[in-house]
């Protein structure tokens, strides 16, 4: 008995080493219960109650062992994901919202980093400041990567690139040219200096904290300097040059990054999984509408559809389509830097189109209205870069056909309203017919393919031509007309 107990004890001590120290204590407890059960069962093996207790203990032991092993394989693994946000286009409220949501998503998922793949010609100052504020306050390190080769991060893109925790560029890319611009006005020297100083101070506020070259970065603001990827790396404007995202993450693996608040974070990106964060349906629609050329085209189509509804009341579909298009255009233009002088010119163009129909100016007012419409389109959106303005090609291609169609439809509508009624009783007035019986003064006349009762105070012989001058109680009042006037014609 003593030797058996010693053997069981040694076995339990060997098994307590278990798969891990954390599970050793639980293992020892389970095996201890089993050992006690085995010893007791050895002394009282012939007792049925002891046999039942031994069976229950064995089941518990087996269940505990299964749970211990399952816990080793069912522990959730934490992936070092990188959330990628692609910005391809101008910096505007839609792209700012997309980046902000991407950073929030990365924070919610406890991602290792946010990778912003940037290619932009620039954009709006307010949207740029919103993006930078979100990057500087991000709980997740933000990597801005100008890619692929041939792309650029100009103007507003340069500010965003310099604000990142890690800034990188692909070979064959460029950045810079960040001088502030006010469109539609000539800045006096004082105003220009104030704007430059404000933008330069904004650049210094985060470039210095990122440990990059403040003097060179400021030259991109004051002197509109631009830099290639190699020049930016040599002058400490960026941290890395990488041929693709995989190469960039490989270079960043194990590197420490100093955050804007002074804390240091080590990036573990060697085996990180990149998760794309695309635009929602709403953001895709807004991004499409944020193109000023699209917004202007939608506005003109909506205006034409609403005008068609006014000319054909009850058609419904043109009115609904026009209302939707005009609302979409107004919403898009509200997000863009709208200039009200352009709106006034477009309204003036419609007034000239209406006057062209009213007065015989041989197209002078119509040509003036077309010119005003083109000029209004060009001045409608006051964007800081050409990509955020209405192109001359778009303005001409939309304005000229719209002007011709509008004038044509207005003329048709005016002529229809001025045309005399040619149906019913009023349509008979002025019609020329023939007397079928003598009118002394009453008789019968044939007018408009029908036989009518008629009255002529001066009297008319049968076969003579008469003209209807009035209709009263289904009786025509007629007058004699000179011979030779064809029957069925009209005389005013």
The answer on pLDDT for 27 being more than 70 is: no
Q: What is the CA radius of gyration of the chain?
A: 43
pLDDT at 430: 81
Phi and psi at 387, nearest 5°, equal -70, -15
* 312-323 confidence digits (pLDDT tens): 777 788 889 999
pLDDT at 492: 63
Percent above pLDDT 90 for the chain: 46
Average pLDDT over residues 177-191: 75
The answer on pLDDT for 371 being more than 50 is: yes
pLDDT at 71: 46
The answer on pLDDT for 335 being more than 90 is: no
User: Which residue would you say has higher pLDDT here, 76 or 399?
Assistant: 399
Place of tokens 């409608």: 380
pLDDT at 481: 85
Average pLDDT over residues 225-249: 95
> Which of the listed ranges 255-259, 331-335, 416-420 does the model predict with the highest average pLDDT?
255-259
pLDDT at 34: 43
**Cα of 67 vs its chain's centroid, Å:** 51
Distances from the Cα of 130 to the Cα of 52, 98, 165, 290, 418, angstroms? 72, 11, 16, 18, 58
pLDDT at 35: 39
* 438-460 confidence digits (pLDDT tens): 988 899 999 878 888 999 988 88
The answer on pLDDT for 98 being more than 60 is: yes
The answer on pLDDT for 43 being more than 50 is: no
Mean pLDDT, the chain, rounded, equals 81
- Cα separation, 262 vs 415, in Å, equals 77
Average pLDDT over residues 96-105: 95
Residues recorded for the chain = 492
Q: Closest by alpha carbon to 271, among 73, 142, 85, 79?
A: 79
- Do 32 and 13 form a contact (C-beta atoms < 8 A)? no
Label residue 428 exposed, middle or buried (CB < 10 Å: 0-12, 13-18, 19+): buried
> Which of the listed ranges 247-256, 269-278, 439-448, 479-488 does the model predict with the highest average pLDDT?
247-256
**Cα of 347 vs its chain's centroid, Å:** 27
């Amino acid at each position: 008995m003593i030797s058996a107990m010693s053997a069981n004890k040694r076995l339990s001590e060997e098994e307590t080493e278990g798969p891990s120290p954390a599970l050793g204590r639980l293992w020892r407890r389970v095996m201890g219960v089993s050992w006690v059960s085995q010893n007791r069962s050895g002394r009282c093996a012939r007792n049925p109650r002891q046999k039942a207790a031994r069976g229950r203990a064995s089941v518990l032991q087996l269940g505990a062992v299964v749970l211990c092993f399952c816990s080793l394989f069912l522990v959730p693994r934490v992936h070092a994901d990188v959330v990628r946000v692609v910005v391809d286009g101008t910096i505007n409220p839609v792209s700012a919202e997309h980046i902000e949501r991407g950073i929030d998503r990365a924070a919610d998922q406890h991602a290792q980093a946010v990778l912003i793949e940037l290619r932009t010609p620039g954009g709006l100052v307010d949207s740029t400041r919103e993006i930078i504020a979100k990057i500087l306050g991000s709980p997740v390190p933000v990597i801005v990567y100008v890619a692929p080769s041939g792309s650029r991060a100009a103007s507003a893109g340069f500010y965003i690139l310099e604000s990142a925790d890690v800034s990188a560029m692909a070979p064959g890319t460029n950045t810079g040219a960040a001088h502030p611009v006010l469109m539609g006005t000539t800045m006096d020297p004082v105003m220009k200096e104030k704007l430059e100083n404000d933008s330069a101070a904004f650049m210094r506020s985060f470039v210095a904290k990122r440990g990059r070259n403040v003097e060179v970065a400021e030259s991109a603001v004051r002197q509109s300097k631009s830099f290639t990827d190699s020049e930016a790396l040599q002058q400490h404007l960026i941290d890395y040059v990488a041929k693709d995202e995989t190469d960039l993450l490989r270079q960043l693996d194990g590197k420490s990054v100093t955050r804007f608040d002074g804390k240091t974070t080590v990036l573990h990106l060697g085996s990180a999984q990149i998760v794309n964060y695309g635009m929602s349906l709403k953001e895709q629609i807004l991004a499409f509408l944020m193109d000023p050329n699209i917004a202007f085209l939608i506005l003109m189509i909506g205006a034409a559809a609403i005008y068609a509804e006014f000319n054909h009341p009850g058609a419904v579909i043109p009115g609904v389509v026009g209302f939707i298009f005009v609302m979409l255009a107004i919403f898009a233009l509200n997000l863009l830097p709208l200039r009200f002088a352009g709106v006034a010119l477009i309204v003036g163009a419609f007034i000239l189109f209406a006057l062209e129909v009213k007065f015989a100016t041989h197209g002078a007012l119509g040509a003036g209205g077309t010119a005003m419409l083109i000029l209004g389109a060009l001045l409608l959106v006051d964007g800081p870069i050409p990509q955020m303005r209405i192109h001359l090609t778009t303005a001409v291609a939309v304005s000229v056909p719209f002007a011709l169609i509008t004038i044509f439809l207005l003329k048709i509508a005016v002529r229809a309203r001025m045309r005399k009624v040619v149906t019913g009783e009023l349509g008979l007035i002025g019609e020329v017919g023939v007397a079928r019986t003598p009118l002394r003064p009453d008789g019968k006349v044939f007018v408009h393919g029908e036989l009518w009762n008629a009255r002529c105070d001066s009297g008319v012989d049968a076969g003579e031509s008469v003209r209807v001058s009035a209709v009263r109680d289904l009786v025509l009042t007629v007058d004699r007309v000179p011979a030779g006037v064809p029957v069925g014609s009209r005389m005013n």
